[in-house]
Amino acid sequence: MNENVNELSPKQHTAINALIAQSSIESAAKQAGVTQRTLYRWLDEAAFRLALNTALDKALDCAARGLVKLTGKAIRVVETVLDDTELHPSTRLRAAEIVLSNVLKLAELRTLAQRVAALEERQHD
């Protein structure tokens, strides 16, 4: 079994990219030019899983950066909808609901992050 990510074959790297791009193992195997059985076998290998998880983390980081870039634009759209008294009240209400819901989620996440940080700090003491 390949324990070192650098020891993965070019075909395995292709399979990792296919797994990220495709919605099913079958499609990923076809795109990578391997059988499903081979892909499942590789998924059982620690080095392959590590490389896949690293690639997924990078893809998620990239997506997150893209979403953060859109935040200002999205806020301006919601502000426009909220301020437009000509729009149907249900449309404006939905915009307000989106804002309030996401503010509450953000507050929950911040509180959770603070609690985790405090627990980690206590663990290191």
First to last CA, the chain: 39
30 domain-assigned: yes
CA-based nearest residue to 92, from 107, 78, 82, 79 = 82
The string of pLDDT tens digits covering residues 69-120 is 988 998 999 999 999 999 999 999 999 899 888 888 989 999 999 999 999 9
Number of separate domains in the chain? 2
78 domain-assigned: no
Question: Do residues 63 and 88 share a domain?
Answer: no
Question: Do residues 12 and 51 share a domain?
Answer: yes
* SS3 assignment, position 22: coil
Instruction: Say what the pTM is.
Output: 0.66
Distance of alpha carbon 117 from alpha carbon 35, whole angstroms: 44
